[in-house]
Structure 1
Amino acid sequence: MSRNPGVDAAWDAVLSHRPDETRAAVAERFVDNGISPTDVASVLADMGDGLYAAAAQGDEHWTQRFGGPLAVALLAAEVSALAAHLNSRASAVRARATDGLLDDFSAVTVAARLGVSRQKVYDIARSSTSGPFIEQAPGGSHA
């Protein structure tokens, strides 16, 4: 990344869902393959819908608009990394809410309302609520 002065802030923003210790290596992989922070941001903003639509069309040259097959593989992997991060964040929110429910209701009641077993309620409530997590998903907005 030192080849591109000033790019660190852009990569930090677009890869904010990545842990600090891996972000530079991920950005470097993108840079080495001619993929800009704007390219990654665009794919993450629609959660890979554009990649999927292009792949589903069946055109033999569908990867070219994204920079070729390697670029598509890297971009799709980043969508997956973001989705995993958002899944972990949602699980942390659910754990905190479920733990709060157990302050006011029995595990049996909470289980019935959530549609899970009583044991699962305890598993959910014990889940980790630690981050760090991004505050806003790409393309999302706070109401």
Structure 2
Amino acid sequence: MTRKPRGDSSIATESLPEAWAQVLAHRAVDGMDLDELVARFTSCGIGPQEVSAVLMDGGDSLYEAAAGREPGWAEQFGGPLAVALLAAEVSVFASHLNSRASGARSVAVDTLLDDYSAVAVARELGVSRQKVYEIARSGLRGPHLDHVPWRKT
């Protein structure tokens, strides 16, 4: 499994650690050692550009290819193992964004409770009063990415 999808890398070898750190920033903020993950990707011929492309399209290209089930559909990504690794990374990234959004929701609900009753907040959110307290308690636990990779500023 040493295929190189999409040809040679356009990032110079000396900048690879920086490129990997940038594309896997959602992993780095969680304190993960990226070396093992990068080794898995590179052993399949996947570079940071391929991971970035899949994250930037939210996994659409992977999904479309898999849903089409054409013969050899996974080859454009480097094969089934590469697809499994890339899809897992989309999932991890989505989980990170979900956690970040849940934290923002928690802070907002806690702020609402300063001015409104839990019953009123629950009614507006369409959840139970108990759920309002649960949401507000969660807080904004991080660290989280400051912004998504497709945002330029």
Query: Do Structure 1 and Structure 2 share a fold, with TM-score over 0.5?
Result: yes
Deviations 1:5-64 (A, max 9, x none): 431111111001112323232122112221100000000000100000111112020000
CA distance in 2, matches of 1:141, 1:116: 35
Structure 1: gaps (5+ residues):
none
Aligned-pair identity (%): 53
Deviating above 4 A after TM superposition, structure 1's stretches of 4 or more consecutive aligned residues are none
The 5 A counterparts of 1:73-112 are: 73-112=84-123
Q: CA RMSD in A?
A: 1.4
Q: 1:69 aligns with which of 58, 80, 90?
A: 80
CA distance in 2, matches of 1:104, 1:57: 51
Q: 1:116 aligns with which of 127, 132, 143?
A: 127
| C-alpha deviation, 1:110, in angstroms | 0.4
CA distance in 2, matches of 1:141, 1:52: 25
Structure 2: gaps (5+ residues):
1-12
Cross-structure match for 2:7: none
Q: How many residue pairs were aligned?
A: 139
TM-score (norm 1): 0.91
Q: Would you say the 8 A contact 1:46–1:139 is kept in 2? A: no
Cross-structure match for 1:14: 23
| C-alpha deviation, 1:128, in angstroms | 3.3
TM-score (norm 2): 0.85
Deviations 1:95-123 (A, max 9, x none): 00000000010000000000000000000
